[in-house]
């Protein structure tokens, strides 16, 4: 039996994916691609130079069920250089998975949802 928090996260995932997600194609060069539903988001980051001036930038984030990232040989984790293609206002747009401070994704504490940081290419 799962605990209450895991059950709540699963309910939230199902609700968000059924009401706020859009279809995307996640691809890894030389491996293949998978179609999944993702929720679009945004994360802001800051990088500090030698003069302590901050450069701020934002990534377009894709959040989806972690178990859906499976190219046929088992679930894998997002990797820098992977691409995600989706339709924005009826036009296809491709985003590349971005390494931000040594990581390109985050999972919730129970590993149910994954949030992938990207940049438009």
Q: What is the CATH number of the domain that holds 33?
A: 2.40.10
Distance of alpha carbon 98 from alpha carbon 5, whole angstroms: 30
pLDDT of residue 6: 78
Cβ-contact 108, 56 below 8 angstroms: no
Give the structural domain span for 71.
4-120
Torsion angle of the four alpha carbons 96, 102, 104, 105, in this order, in degrees rounded to the nearest 10: -170
Q: How far is the first Cα of the chain from the last one, in angstroms, to the nearest whole number? A: 43
pTM of the model: 0.83
CA 50 to chain centre: 31
Q: Give the tokens for residue 78.
A: 């997002």
Greatest Cα pair distance, the chain, in angstroms, is 53
Q: Give the model's confidence band at 4: pLDDT under 50 very low, under 70 low, under 90 confident, else very high.
A: confident
**81: left (phi > 0), else alpha (psi -120 to 50), else beta?**
left
Q: How many domains does the chain have?
A: 1
Distance of alpha carbon 56 from alpha carbon 105, whole angstroms: 19
pLDDT tens per residue, range 53-106: 888 878 899 999 999 999 999 999 999 999 999 998 889 999 999 988 888 999
Greatest mean pLDDT range, 6-10, 47-51, 62-66: 62-66
pLDDT of residue 1: 44
pLDDT of residue 2: 59
């Amino acid at each position: 039996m799962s605990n209450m928090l895991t059950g709540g996260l699963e309910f939230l995932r199902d609700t968000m994916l059924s009401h706020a997600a859009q279809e995307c194609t996640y691809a890894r060069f030389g491996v293949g691609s998978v179609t999944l539903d993702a929720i679009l988001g945004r994360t802001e980051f800051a990088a500090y130079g030698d003069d302590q001036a901050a450069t701020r930038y934002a990534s377009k984030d894709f959040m989806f069920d972690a178990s859906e990232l499976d190219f046929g040989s088992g679930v894998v984790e997002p990797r820098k250089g992977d691409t995600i293609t989706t339709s924005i206002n009826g036009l296809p747009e491709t985003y590349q998975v971005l390494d931000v401070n040594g990581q390109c994704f985050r999972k919730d504490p129970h590993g149910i949802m994954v949030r992938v940081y990207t940049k438009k290419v």
